[in-house]
Structure 1
Amino acid sequence: MSVMIVFLLVLATIIGLWLSRQRLASKPWLETGAPPARAEAVAVAPARLGLAVFLAVVGGLFAMLGSAFVMQIDEYPWQLVPLPRMIWFSTAALVAASLALHRAAGAARRAEPGRRDAALAAATLATLAFLAGQGLVWRALGDGGVVLSGTPAGSLVYLITGLHGLHVLGGLVALGRVWLRQAQRPGSAQARAAIALCAIYWHALLFVWLALIALFSGLANEVLALFGALLT
């Protein structure tokens, strides 16, 4: 339950910050001067809004799974799953992919096709490295006696990381469409927007992954206990 409350608080903060940038309290009938161009309108692109809703749903799903993980810890006297060292390689690869997509979005805005394509290629390779690292992590867990049908901790680790991997695979499909769009209409506004959306998606995947690492390693227990104490 604490995980869900923390997630809802973070989500409310993000929504509040986003709404504060939308000029909802502006009074255009009192503004003077030439009206703003249509490209500078306050309206948010439907694709960006749809991605925001999708990420909120995904975040809620992982928050519920995280709550189940925490409740299992509280209910049953079992230890946390020891994380293999390979998981830090996977984390570094996902960080690199997120940074590369951030650079690709910036290069697309500045109309720098060479840097944009190089950053997109780096993001693709880093994401593939993350998935390969995850396979090695699962293999190391199995070699260490942690199996899918074993303890509740091990089962939830496989379930949650596998679900995260599926979302990464979905992101790769979207990234492939970005490459196709770049080939068909290089430098178009739609292509730039698609790269920016991919960057946002990868940043969200990285945030979720870091939260999962903190949860699996036990680092988040003290934070959750603090929130629970404040909310009771």
Structure 2
Amino acid sequence: MSAVVLFMAGVALIAGWWLSQQRLASKPWLEEGVIGDLPDRSAPLPAAKIGLGVFLAVVGSLFALLISAYGMRMDLIDWRPLPVPKLLWFNTGVLILSSIALHWALVSARRGFDDSTLLGLIAADITAIVFLIGQALVCWELVKAGYFLASNPANAFFYLITATHGLHILGGLLVLSRTLTRAWRDGATPQLCLSIELCAIYWHFLLLIWLVLLGLLTGWTAGFLAICRQLLT
């Protein structure tokens, strides 16, 4: 239960910060200066951003439930943690690079569409594919070592968690590839910067999710969660 509370609190903080950046609480009638010089802050929040925010809340809730179930199941006597392949750390580094590349593309698009925007999108696309291939190799390595899905609850949770996260990465990769195609074919358009921004938000969110899951799967968060349970009980 503590895992759900902590995770949802983190999601709420991130969502609050993101919404604050959208100027939802701005008061344009209190602005001073020449009317023509004032920025246009009365434009409504794009529906795509609202939809993405709702979707991320649902995704966050899903992973919070998985984390909570993992934390409760690992306390039972038949739980035998599986070893963490070294390739998992490489995959984490690749996902971080993918998120950085997409942020670079977003910054470049905001300054004016150029070759840096395309390079950032291509780099984010390639590193995302490498991450998915690496995750598949991790599972294949564990299966070859005898850690089958039905052998132990820890095995099942590992495959379930990594597969669920991988499917969300795959879905984001499809959208990112479409954005890259539009950028390559049409160049700068009014919708392109928004599309890149939405991809970047989604990518950073999935990176945060993966770092939490990595800490859970490697046991780094076990002591932290134990302290939280004591504080919440």
TM-score (norm 1): 0.91
Equivalent position of 2:13 in the other structure: 13
Equivalents in 1 of 2:3, 2:191: separation in Å? 37
User: For 1:146, what is the secondary structure of its paired residue?
Assistant: coil
Per the alignment, residue 207 of structure 1 pairs with 208
Displacement after TM superposition at 1:157 (Å): 0.6
CA contact (8 A) 1:185 1:191 kept: no
Provide the C-alpha distance between the structure 2 equivalents of 1:134 and 1:202, rounded to a whole number of angstroms. Answer: 17
TM-fit CA distance, 1:16? 3.2
Distance 1:178 1:48 in 2: 16
Superposed counterparts of 1:113-152, under 5 Å: 113-152=114-153
Query: Are 1:102 and 2:103 matched, yes or no?
Result: yes
**Structure 1 contact 94–130 (Cα < 8 Å) conserved:** yes
Cα offset, 1:20, TM superposition = 4.1
RMSD: 1.9
- Equivalent positions of 1:21-170 (< 5 A) are 21=21, 26-33=26-33, 34=35, 36-38=38-40, 40-41=41-42, 43-170=44-171
C-alpha separation in 2, matches of 1:127 and 1:26: 36
Count how many residue pairs are aligned between Structure 1 and Structure 2.
231
SS where residue 112 of structure 2 aligns? coil
Q: Which residue of 1 aligns with 2:225?
A: 224
Partner AA of 2:128 in structure 1: T
Provide the secondary structure at the position in 1 that maps to 2:74. helix
**2:195 is the alignment partner of 1:191:** no
Pairing of 1:162-181 with structure 2 (within 5 A): 162-181=163-182
Aligned partner of residue 75 in structure 2, secondary structure:
helix
Is the Cα–Cα contact under 8 Å of residues 99 and 204 in structure 2 kept in the other structure?
yes
Tell me by how many angstroms 1:17 deviates: 2.8
Matched, 1:4 2:42: no
Letter in 2 for 1:161: T
Which amino acid is 1:179 matched to?
Answer: L
The separation in 2 between residues aligned to 1:200 and 1:20, in whole angstroms, is: 14
Letter in 2 for 1:62: F
Cα separation, 1, equivalents of 2:135 and 2:177:
21
CA contact (8 A) 2:183 2:192 kept: yes
The DSSP-based 3-state class of the residue aligned with 1:75 is: coil
Q: C-alpha distance in 2, partners of 1:22/1:122?
A: 28
Gaps of 5+ in 2: none
Q: What's the % identity of the aligned pairs?
A: 45
Quick check: 1:104–1:195 contact (8 Å CA) kept in 2? yes
